[in-house]
Amino acid sequence: MKRILFISKGENSSSTRYRALQYFPHLRENGFEPVHATAAGGLLPFFAACRQAAAADVVVVLRKTFPVPFLWLLRRSARRLIFDFDDAIFCATDGSPSATRMRRFAAMIKVCDHVMAGNEFLEDRAKAFNRAVTLVPTALAVDRYAVSADKPAESVDLVWIGSSSTRKYLVDILPWLRAAAVRIPGLRLKVIADFDLPDAGLPVLPVRWQADSEARELASAHIGIAPMRDDDWSRGKCALKVLQYMAAGLPVVSSGCGANARIVEEGVNGFLAGDEETWANRIADLAADAGLREAMGAAGRRKAAADFDLRPVHQRLRSVLDGALGG
């Protein structure tokens, strides 16, 4: 049995859950022994991770880059080293260039035997420093979202799922949602996150995110929304929100940038919007037509199942691991 060590900043990180931990049962089924180590919080966790790396057949680092001395030690400890990332970690979170982040990113990519990138934009950036790059999209267990949930009849619920770190994208379009609410009786914003929006200017239903209720809360809404900014940080996102909405059978209204624009098929499983009028019009179209919502939701679920379900994407991950072990 081949031992695969995944190193990340912690088990509670979404990238750790979606890019590693959810694959552990499938990896075990295929003869691997996956384990996780946290390399954050000081020197001791990092050195402990290096000791575990020396005993592993393959080491996969999730999203973390390291100062040169730490990177040297990790490379010395690991027989085979793979880097996996699902964010534009080479730039600042506002999308502006960061020389320090780019330098550490380049150093990490150069010393790895292989790189797994979450989308095409990230793949292109990694190939500037290492040609051994495989696109492995962020996946989810689509069946987990196929739950039965009653939708409120007295309101039309837009749903947004996220956290405080991505709150700014939702706040950006609140004026547009308020404009839509003027036109659409009963329009309500459902926010599944760790914050509330008491001054949103339209009715808001705050729902505290919980793993065991996430799918049901999504399925009980009518329309999923995914606003984004058009910058390099956003282009590095892997459209997890959009995939969750689609898996839950919801039509999507999204900004037309990054991975979102490649997954949302205009008029098929959702709409792309870039200004107040388009956002309001597309939301109004869906709010007025239950049949359209149902058709688009079904198309989205088919796409999520075909291209982003856990099992087929696991095969991409496994091919990278098999290649590393055979190299």
pLDDT digits (tens, 9 = 90+) for 125-184: 999 999 999 999 999 999 999 998 999 999 999 999 999 999 999 999 999 999 999 999
Q: Is the pLDDT of residue 276 over 80?
A: yes
Closest CA to 15 of 33, 36, 32: 36
- Tell me the mean pLDDT in the region 274-291: 96
| Phi, psi values for residue 107, rounded to 5° | -60, -40
Same domain, 280 and 162: yes
Same domain, 215 and 81: no
Domain count of the chain? 2
The pLDDT value given to residue 124: 98
Q: How many helices (H) and strands (E) does the chain have?
A: 15, 12
Q: First and final CA of the chain: distance in angstroms?
A: 17
Contact yes or no for 154/186 (Cβ under 8 A): yes
CA-to-CA distance for 96 and 146, rounded, in angstroms? 39
Same domain, 297 and 158: yes
Closest CA to 245 of 254, 237, 236: 254
Assign 289 a pLDDT band (cuts: 50, 70, 90): very high
* Two structure tokens written together for 178: 């308020």
Same domain, 82 and 133: yes
Residue 106, class by beta-carbon neighbours within 10 Å (0-12 exposed, 13-18 middle, 19+ buried)?
Answer: middle
* Two structure tokens written together for 247: 């898996």
Mean pLDDT of the chain: 96
- Tell me the mean pLDDT in the region 201-221: 95
Same domain, 160 and 30: no
pLDDT digit string (tens) for 15-24?
A: 999 999 999 9
Same domain, 9 and 154: no
Same domain, 18 and 54: yes
Assign 327 a pLDDT band (cuts: 50, 70, 90): low
Residues 6+ apart with CB under 8 A from 111: 71, 75, 81
CA-to-CA distance for 310 and 139, rounded, in angstroms? 5
Distance from the Cα of residue 104 to its chain's centroid: 22
- Tell me the mean pLDDT in the region 63-91: 97
- Which residues, in sequence order, are bridge partners of residue 85? 117
The boundaries of the domain holding residue 274 are 142-307
Same domain, 146 and 161: yes
CA-to-CA distance for 219 and 152, rounded, in angstroms? 11
Query: Which string of b and e fits 65-85 if b means at least 16 CB within 10 Å?
Result: bbeeebbeebbebbebbbbbb
The pLDDT value given to residue 41: 87
Q: What is the β-pairing status of strands 156-161 and 223-226? A: parallel
Same domain, 160 and 79: no
The pLDDT value given to residue 156: 97
DSSP assignment letter at 164? G
pTM above 0.75, yes or no: yes
The CA R_g of the chain, rounded to the nearest whole Å, is 21
Same domain, 237 and 262: yes
Q: Is the pLDDT of residue 3 over 60?
A: yes
CA-to-CA distance for 301 and 240, rounded, in angstroms? 13
- Tell me the mean pLDDT in the region 293-315: 96
Same domain, 182 and 279: yes
The pLDDT value given to residue 145: 95
pLDDT digit string (tens) for 26-59?
A: 999 999 999 999 998 889 999 999 999 999 999 9
Distances (CA, A) of 251 to 205, 220, 231, 285: 19, 13, 25, 11
CA-to-CA distance for 102 and 66, rounded, in angstroms? 12
Same domain, 111 and 33: yes
Q: What is the CATH number of the domain that holds 120?
A: 3.40.50.2000
pLDDT above 90 coverage of the chain, percent = 96
